């Protein structure tokens, strides 16, 4: 018989102390809880908890240490109409498991009901088909690891997938491709550093599950937005064969990236779990305490409120859910040393009942937390529920994926009318969205592409989605792509290819000269294509992977992207800490405004100029003579001044250099020329031709 001592109700989960392991699990619904231990032959030993304090069942097992596999069985009422789904036949993953071994093997046994009769409880044992929780050793030699703590306004984010970025890299040892170790390999670190990346934003790395329906179609949940373990690094991204090895490998990856000055931001999914709707499997929280973890329909608690489009939503007014999320976030910062989080469908986190409330309990908890309030917090500010589009409405310390930036930048370069006024707002940091609540330009995470939708190459190559490989008859994915194929759908050569390359440079240039925080999608700098698939969530193959063999073919684009990153890094006028004032700069010798909007003729824009629906061209003067805010050491910053000449019209337009803004200007960027041949300087009053659908960036000398 396995010896069990009373142990402690806190911390939750499995905690190894060098002599044994304390186990603790919350369950108010449970009437009896068993800890299930598995040996190397997968033989199960059950130990009943004898202690329960405040609905936390706990016990200490001396001699049990790292590598021990375990799960829980919860005895209690099974009454779906009242939201109760306890079933001791189901082996349950510990919500606080720090590592998880294996994956779900889909069988009727993992469901709490019979397929033939969903009202009947399924008493088939699920142990043979579900993952095991694993006890870990928390020690790791971090050495002198310190967070880079890059200020937001100096940040350049690179959104990446652990497997997709590294699986095809020929210079990374084959045995570690597609893993955390590959992400920390010098080849990847050097590539990111050369791009000027200061933070890598990883698509979900919490342990996730591939849905039953995808397995039946021979596909996988590649993106990973289907979490089942909020503390455990996804085990399939580990190159080690050791139990719990994914934890050590993840930490080593973070340490390597930190050494290069690159922060690690996690895309996290705290709005729902992999247990899905009322017809989903019983893997963890559903069987532990269904009504305390999930939002149920009030008048029939068989069913789940779903504001995520995934079948369920976590109950954000539940103290247990809030504690789970906060404990998870703090764990990833304090123990795994990550530097911030991007919250998937963050509007759902604000829903205590039905309305989106920016002052909900979750945001209050984050705001007052001494650990979490100091890291980067990024919201995907929408969900699928009523009132779910909340761009600009998150609390003061939060930044947001700016979907309105993405849309208007795409619209301008694909030639949509009446785009100029909003383009001006987005280019300068979206003060209309963020200034009223004292936020700054860095509150806007600017992006043109992300994992969800077309890649940059596909954005200029396809008018319509081509998602046939997903097996949903091309019904999935958005139809609102705001893309333009430049005249030919799909691959093309000749003049169409030349135009597409220019359009990519236009979009990237706009991104890097905009105020706010630029975010690149992995592989965009290499011309990565998904062949028109705008919803590759289930494609763990060449459709989604970065093709590193194309690096020489796309050398011009890669070098151009690096040049843009250097321009932004070297010139703080492109990464201001505060919004423009639209008036003369204090301390400026020439009395010029910090920003000026000019027509191609070099004259200041009037209201009539802004409201010409067909206008697609303008010049922007950025005054770097004396940026209004000091740097982090309190020193006043001076920079060069720039003229940005945007021509989204299809024909060449000659821009007149305004006479009152400087005498001599040199071209730093010309998207019509991937390799810039040093042109002669341009003088005030002189005409500068800007080719159709191109940008020129001029610096005052």
Question: Domain residue spans in the chain?
Answer: 13-135, 574-700
Torsion angle (degrees, nearest 10) of CA 564, 615, 622, 433: -90
Let me know: does 284 contact 228? Beta carbons within 8 Å. yes
Q: 146-174 pLDDT, tens per residue?
A: 999 999 999 999 999 999 999 999 999 99
* pLDDT at 332 > cutoff 80: yes
As a whole number, the mean pLDDT across the chain is 94
Distance CA(462)–CA(430), nearest Å, equals 28
More confident residue, 253 or 356: 253
pLDDT-based confidence at residue 385 (cuts at 50, 70, 90) = low
* pLDDT at 358 > cutoff 70: no
pLDDT-based confidence at residue 1 (cuts at 50, 70, 90) = low
What are the CA-CA distances from residue 201 to residues 67, 145, 268, 281, 512 (Å)? 29, 19, 10, 30, 18
More confident residue, 105 or 348: 105
Tell me the mean pLDDT in the region 215-236. Answer: 97
Let me know: does 342 contact 378? Beta carbons within 8 Å. yes
169 in helix, strand or coil?
coil
CATH architecture for segment(s) 574-700: Sandwich (2.60)
What are the CA-CA distances from residue 507 to residues 200, 290, 460, 648, 672 (Å)? 20, 47, 10, 11, 12
Tell me the mean pLDDT in the region 492-507. Answer: 98
13-135 and 574-700 agree in CATH topology: yes
75 in helix, strand or coil?
strand
Tell me the mean pLDDT in the region 294-301. Answer: 95
- Residues near 328 by Cβ (< 8 Å), separated by ≥ 6? 230, 231, 270
What is the pLDDT at residue 680? Answer: 85
For a pLDDT cut of 70, what percent of the chain falls above it?
A: 95
Let me know: does 460 contact 452? Beta carbons within 8 Å. no
pLDDT-based confidence at residue 438 (cuts at 50, 70, 90) = confident
pLDDT-based confidence at residue 309 (cuts at 50, 70, 90) = confident
Let me know: does 594 contact 620? Beta carbons within 8 Å. no
Q: 15-27 pLDDT, tens per residue?
A: 999 999 999 999 9
Q: Does the active-site annotation cover 590? A: no
* pLDDT at 403 > cutoff 80: yes
Pairing of strands 157-160, 199-202: parallel
CATH architecture for segment(s) 13-135: Sandwich (2.60)
* pLDDT at 481 > cutoff 90: yes
For 504, the token pair is: 């990519």
pLDDT-based confidence at residue 677 (cuts at 50, 70, 90) = confident
Query: How many helices, marked H, and strands, marked E, lie in the chain?
Result: 15, 33
Considering the candidates 101, 103, 263, 344, report the single residue annotated as catalytic. Answer: 344
For a pLDDT cut of 90, what percent of the chain falls above it?
A: 85
Distance CA(472)–CA(474), nearest Å, equals 5
* pLDDT at 534 > cutoff 90: yes
* pLDDT at 354 > cutoff 80: no
5 in helix, strand or coil?
strand
Distance CA(384)–CA(683), nearest Å, equals 53
Q: 169-210 pLDDT, tens per residue?
A: 999 999 999 999 999 999 999 999 999 999 999 999 999 999
Tell me the mean pLDDT in the region 288-313. Answer: 94
pLDDT-based confidence at residue 634 (cuts at 50, 70, 90) = low
pTM of the model: 0.96
Q: Does the active-site annotation cover 468? A: no
Tell me the mean pLDDT in the region 418-433. Answer: 93
Distance CA(151)–CA(114), nearest Å, equals 54
What are the CA-CA distances from residue 445 to residues 377, 392, 402, 518, 668 (Å)? 11, 11, 6, 6, 25
Supply φ then ψ for residue 181, to 5 degrees. -60, -40
Give 279-304 as a 3 state SS string: CCCCCCHHHHHHHHHECECCCCCCCE
Output DSSP code: residue 347.
Answer: G
Considering the candidates 101, 267, 339, 380, report the single residue annotated as catalytic. Answer: 380
> Looking at 307-321, 345-359, 365-379, 531-545, which range is the least confident one?
345-359
Tell me the mean pLDDT in the region 613-628. Answer: 86
Tell me the mean pLDDT in the region 365-372. Answer: 93
Q: HSE-up of 601 (CA within 13 Å, CB side)?
A: 5
């Amino acid at each position: 018989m396995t010896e069990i001592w009373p142990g402690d109700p806190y911390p939750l989960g499995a905690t190894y102390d060098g002599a044994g392991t304390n186990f603790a699990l919350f369950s108010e619904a449970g009437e009896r809880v068993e800890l299930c231990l598995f040996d190397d032959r997968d033989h199960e030993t059950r130990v009943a908890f004898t202690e329960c304090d405040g609905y936390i069942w706990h016990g200490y097992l001396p001699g049990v240490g790292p590598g021990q596999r375990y799960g829980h069985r919860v005895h209690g009422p099974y009454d779906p109409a009242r939201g109760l789904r306890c079933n001791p036949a189901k082996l349950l993953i510990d919500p606080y498991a720090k590592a998880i071994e294996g994956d779900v093997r889909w069988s009727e046994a993992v469901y709490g009901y019979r397929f033939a009769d969903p009202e009947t409880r399924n008493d088939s044992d699920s142990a043979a088909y579900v993952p095991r929780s694993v006890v870990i050793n928390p020690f790791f030699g971090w050495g002198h690891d310190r967070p880079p703590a890059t200020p937001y306004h100096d940040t350049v984010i690179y959104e990446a997938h652990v497997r997709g970025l590294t699986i095809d890299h020929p210079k990374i040892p084959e045995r570690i491709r597609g893993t955390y170790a590959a992400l920390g390999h010098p080849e990847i670190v050097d590539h990111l550093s050369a791009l000027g990346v200061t933070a890598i934003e990883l698509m979900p790395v919490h342990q996730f599950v591939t849905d039953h329906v995808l397995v039946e179609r021979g596909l996988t949940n590649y993106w990973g937005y289907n979490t089942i373990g909020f503390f455990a690094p996804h085990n399939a991204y580990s190159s080690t064969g050791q139990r719990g090895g994914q934890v050590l490998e993840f930490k080593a990856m973070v340490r390597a990236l930190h050494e290069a000055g690159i922060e690690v931001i996690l895309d996290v999914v705290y709005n729902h779990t992999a247990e899905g709707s009322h017809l989903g499997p019983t893997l963890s929280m559903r069987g532990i305490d269904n009504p305390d973890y999930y939002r149920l329909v009030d008048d029939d608690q068989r069913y789940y409120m779903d504001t995520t489009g995934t079948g369920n939503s976590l109950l954000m007014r539940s103290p247990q859910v809030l504690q789970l999320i906060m404990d998870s976030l703090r764990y990833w910062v304090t123990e795994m040393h990550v530097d911030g989080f991007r919250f998937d469908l963050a509007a759902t986190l604000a829903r205590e009942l039905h309305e989106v409330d920016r002052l909900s309990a979750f945001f209050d908890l984050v705001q007052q937390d001494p650990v979490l309030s100091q890291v980067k917090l990024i919201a995907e500010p929408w969900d699928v529920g009523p009132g779910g589009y909340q761009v600009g409405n998150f609390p003061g310390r939060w930044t947001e994926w700016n979907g309105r930036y993405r849309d208007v930048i795409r619209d301008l370069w694909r030639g949509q009318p009446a785009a100029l006024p909003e383009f001006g707002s987005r280019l300068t940091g979206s003060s209309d969205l963020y200034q009223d609540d004292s936020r700054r330009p860095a509150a806007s995470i600017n992006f043109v592409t992300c994992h969800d939708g077309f890649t940059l190459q596909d954005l200029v190559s396809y008018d319509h989605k081509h998602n046939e490989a997903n097996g949903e008859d091309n019904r999935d994915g958005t139809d609102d792509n705001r893309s333009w194929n430049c005249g030919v759908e799909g691959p093309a050569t000749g003049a169409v290819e030349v135009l597409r390359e220019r359009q990519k440079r236009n979009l990237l240039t706009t991104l890097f000269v905009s105020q706010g925080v630029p975010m690149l999608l992995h592989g965009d700098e290499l011309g990565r294509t998904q062949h028109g698939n705008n919803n590759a969530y289930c494609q763990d193959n060449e459709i989604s992977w970065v093709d590193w063999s194309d690096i020489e073919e796309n050398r011009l684009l890669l070098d151009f992207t690096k040049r843009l990153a250097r321009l932004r890094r070297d010139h703080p006028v492109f990464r201001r800490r505060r919004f423009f004032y639209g008036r003369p700069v204090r301390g400026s010798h020439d009395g010029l405004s910090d920003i000026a909007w000019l027509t191609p003729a070099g004259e200041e824009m009037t209201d009539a100029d802004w409201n010409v629906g067909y206008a697609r061209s303008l010049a922007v003067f950025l005054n770097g003579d004396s940026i209004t805010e000091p740097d982090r050491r309190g020193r006043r910053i001076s920079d060069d001044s720039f003229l940005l000449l945007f021509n989204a019209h299809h024909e060449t337009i000659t821009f007149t250099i305004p006479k009152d803004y400087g005498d001599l200007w040199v071209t730093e960027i010309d998207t019509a020329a991937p390799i810039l041949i040093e042109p002669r300087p341009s003088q005030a009053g002189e005409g500068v031709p800007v080719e159709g659908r191109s940008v020129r960036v001029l610096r005052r000398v």
